[in-house]
Amino acid sequence: MSSAKRSPQDQPPVTINRLAEMKANGEKIAMITAYDFPSAGVIEEVGVEIVLVGDSAANCVLGYDSTVPVGMDEMTILTKAVRRGISTPLLVVDLPFGSYEASNELAITSAQRLVKEAGCDAVKLEGGGASVDRASAIIGAGIPVMGHVGLTPQTATALGGMKAQGRTADQAIKVAEDAITLDHAGCFAIVIEAVPQAVVEMIVEKIDAVTIGIGAGNVTSGQVLVLHDLVGINDGHMAKFVKRYADVRGEMKRGVESYVDEVRSGAFPAAEHVYSVEPAELERLRQRLDREDLESNYSWDWEPLA
């Protein structure tokens, strides 16, 4: 297993076959969320295997208090922006809550829109049960699907809140069943969220698909974190599984504070931010301003309001 930095410039686009090969070779897969063009550009430069336009965009960039309200139009706009910024990673998009559960037809229509209009390579959906049927239908329509088991935020209320899953044998068997049936349905990858590592270890042994963990320990084929958590844009409560690698919010705050201070003190703009003009042009302007009655030369073609 190599931890050497990959050089994205030399890399061909990541394919589903390449991910399966990485799993077989024991090479860890890096996946990260993105919701905008500049972040996508940074991720492309660094080089990761999978970019997810997660419905966590609902909380991270749209200001909703859960992932439930975000819709297809919003996910499409965000995905188009990310698509413009990346060409190497595999681009996966979350099917938002309400865009796939009701029928296989709805699931296929929503997935097709995200592929055709937004340019994603694959879609992700949450849960087992009826979602397995939806996954199967979308795969049958030619679109690769990533499953998501364990803590599934779209239906967190039914799971008793945003908390770890699979901590009892009964709960764990449900997570295992969901993962195994999604695997049999043909999902190329399965996200396992907030499940004890010892349980995940047993589940991954039964699965052929690539597994991506978030709060699932280090026994999966790869890891995913939400960009806004890992670079410290989000503040407030963080899940146990989040590791902070930067303090972007703190840095942004320092920048905005300095700007406001300098505007108020008059230190900004300084000479280097100001355009210059030739002295001769300035003199010509001065003479004309002195000489001409600009207002009387100005022709108005509208009637003033009564």
Report, as residue numbers or ranges, the catalytic residues. Answer: 193
From the list 180, 190, 224, 231, which residue makes contact with ligand KIV (rule: CB under 6 A)? Answer: 224
**Which residues partner with 51 through β-bridges?**
32, 91
Alpha-carbon Rg for the chain in angstroms:
26
User: Is residue 53 a contact partner of residue 86, using CB atoms and an 8 Å limit?
Assistant: no
Q: Does 214 bind ligand KIV (CB under 6 A)?
A: yes
**Which is closer to ligand KIV, CB of 94 or CB of 101?**
94
Does the footprint of ligand KIV cover residue 149 (CB under 6 A)?
Answer: no
Comparing CB distances to ligand KIV, the nearer of 85 and 147 is: 147
Judged on CB neighbours under 10 Å (0-12, 13-18, 19+), 290 is exposed
Asked if 33 is part of the footprint of ligand KIV (rule: CB under 6 A), the reply reads: yes
Q: Does 159 participate in binding ligand KIV (rule CB under 6 A)?
A: no
Considering only residues 34 through 93, tell me which ones interact with ligand KIV, judged by CB under 6 A. 52, 54-56
Q: Smallest distance, Å, CB 276 to ligand KIV? A: 48
CB of 7 to ligand KIV, least distance (A): 26
Quick note: the x/- pattern for ligand KIV over 266-285, rule CB under 6 A, is --------------------
Which residues have a Cβ under 8 Å from the Cβ of 52 and sit 6 or more positions away?
A: 31, 32, 33, 34, 92, 93, 94, 124, 224
Member of 123, 195, 226, 231 binding ligand KIV (CB under 6 A): 226
CA 261-265-267 angle, to 5 degrees, is: 90
Closest to 123 (Cα-Cα) out of 150, 102, 142, 98 = 142
Q: How far apart are CA 145 and CA 185, in angstroms?
A: 10
Exactly one of 30, 111, 139, 191 binds ligand KIV (CB under 6 A); which one?
191
Residues in contact with ligand KIV, total (CB under 6 A)? 11
Residue closer to ligand KIV by CB (options 188, 304) is: 188
Distance from C-alpha of 212 to C-alpha of 118, rounded to nearest angstrom: 23
Q: Going by DSSP bridges, is the β-strand pair 189-193/145-150 parallel, antiparallel, or unpaired?
A: parallel
Closest to ligand KIV by CB, 79 or 278: 79
Residues near ligand KIV, by CB under 6 A: 33, 52, 54-56, 94, 148, 191, 214, 224, 226
